[in-house]
Amino acid sequence: MKKELLFLTTIIFLSGCTGGSDSATDKPLTTEGDYGLIISEFSTDFATMEEGDIATLLVELQNIDTEPAENIEIKIYPVGLEISALKSIKKESVLEPNDTTFFEFDVTAPDGLNIDRTYTPYAEICYNYKSAASTSVFIIDNSIYERDMLVPDAQKTSTTAPVDVSVSFTADLVKVEEIPAGRDRTLSISMVNVDNGYLMLGETGFPGSNDKHQINAGNLTLTVTTTGSGIITIVEDQTDPEFVCSNTKPIVIDDDSTSNSISNIVTIDEVDSNEKIYCTNLYDVSFGSTGSSKTMRLPINFNPTSGGQDVPYFKVDLDYRYCIQTEPITITATKII
């Protein structure tokens, strides 16, 4: 017999904050990466050379996690050594998990030195990566709940990546009353920068003065599915919506997103229809001035139809561009006597 279930009405509120800004020529970060793409070597063939000589800088990268690193770009900051702008940046389209690649850059000591000089060049690497997490929650009408009933544990998953993502409810069990108000629970989406680099807006290139510590609009996706027969409904905050939702993927974010054909109420009403609800962030999301973390909390109201239970799943996928920098190396250029 087809089970009656319950409404899940989700009203989404998200708070934003303004991130800080840094110049691409700031003092280099003392990081070589611990997740995703790491810098396994940054070296030179000549630590000492005469004016006008050429030294080769080697940058070796390795992808140590489970997602492909894409749109990889490497830029050398010569800090007084000479290299043409065209030759200071190199690219690679993709580096698969467990693969290694390397790049070489030639830098020249300036001519006409009147004293010996020390230079500290460094490299900046930016690339695209993905993080994901999911959880489930057991929902039951309180009228049929029994104390000794077996309650399934929440099925939680998360990937290892420069940005750690987790999604969770305050409890694995939600008992709902058959009253109009229902029962509120909070779904939290937590994103933590666990590496020593920083996020940036965009999908290519290097960060500008206002691009650090942010993710793009449309890069965070929440997918909701159900395992039983019932109805899931998401109702967005219409006064200041932070998310847009649809039964169709992908959702394209553009200047008309707030007034396009995306419905403000999205429903799954057939268990065998393979329908899902997709929600994505309508605006850029800031991780604050330090770029360390961001948490989004979604108040969710559960209302039963006429008594039932289900285990809906909530999955978050995050796409982002991430940058790391090498430690500077020391090269000494000596004047010709």
Buried b (16+ CB within 10 A) or exposed e, 187-201: bebbbbbebebbbbb
Residue 114, CB half-sphere, CA atoms under 13 Å: how many? 0
| pLDDT class of 309 with cuts at 50, 70, 90 | confident
User: Which tokens is 278 given?
Assistant: 């997709």
Q: Lowest-confidence range among 119-128, 208-217, 231-240, 275-284?
A: 231-240
pLDDT at 263 over 50: no
Question: Per-residue pLDDT averaged across 36-58, rounded?
Answer: 95
pLDDT for 249: 74
Per-residue pLDDT at 33: 72
The DSSP-derived string for 177-240 is -SSTT-EEEEEEEEEEE-SSSEEESSSSS---TT-BTEE-TT-EEEEEE-SSSS-EEEEE-SSS
**Residue-level pLDDT at 23:** 35
Q: pLDDT tens-digit profile of 85-116?
A: 999 999 999 999 999 999 999 999 999 999 99
Contact between 268 and 276 under an 8 Å Cβ cutoff? The reply is yes
- Residue 9: per-residue pLDDT: 42
Q: Give CA–CA dist 91/190, Å, rounded.
A: 31
State the pLDDT at residue 337.
Answer: 77
If one compares 266 and 202, the residue with the highest pLDDT of the two is 202
Cα separation, 222 vs 189, in Å, equals 9
pLDDT of residue 232: 61
The predicted pLDDT at position 291 comes to: 87
Of 183-192, 196-205, 284-293, the range with the lowest mean pLDDT is: 183-192
What is the DSSP secondary-structure string of 59-121? EEEEE-SSS-EEEEEEEEE-BTBB--TTTSEEEEEEE-TT-EEEEEEEEEPPSS-SS-EEE--
* Residue 230 pLDDT: 53
pLDDT bin (cut points 50, 70, 90) of residue 260 is very low
Mean pLDDT of the chain: 80
Q: State yes or no: pLDDT of 247 exceeds 80.
A: no
Q: Which residue has the higher pLDDT, 186 or 262?
A: 186
**Residue carrying structure tokens 């974010």:** 253
Whether the predicted model's global pTM rises above the 0.85 cut: no
CA distances from 136 to 153, 310, 315 (A): 8, 10, 9
User: Using 50, 70 and 90 to split pLDDT, how confident is the model at 180?
Assistant: very low
- Assign 282 a pLDDT band (cuts: 50, 70, 90): confident
Please answer whether residues 242 and 215 qualify as being in contact, where contact means their C-beta atoms are separated by less than 8 angstroms: no
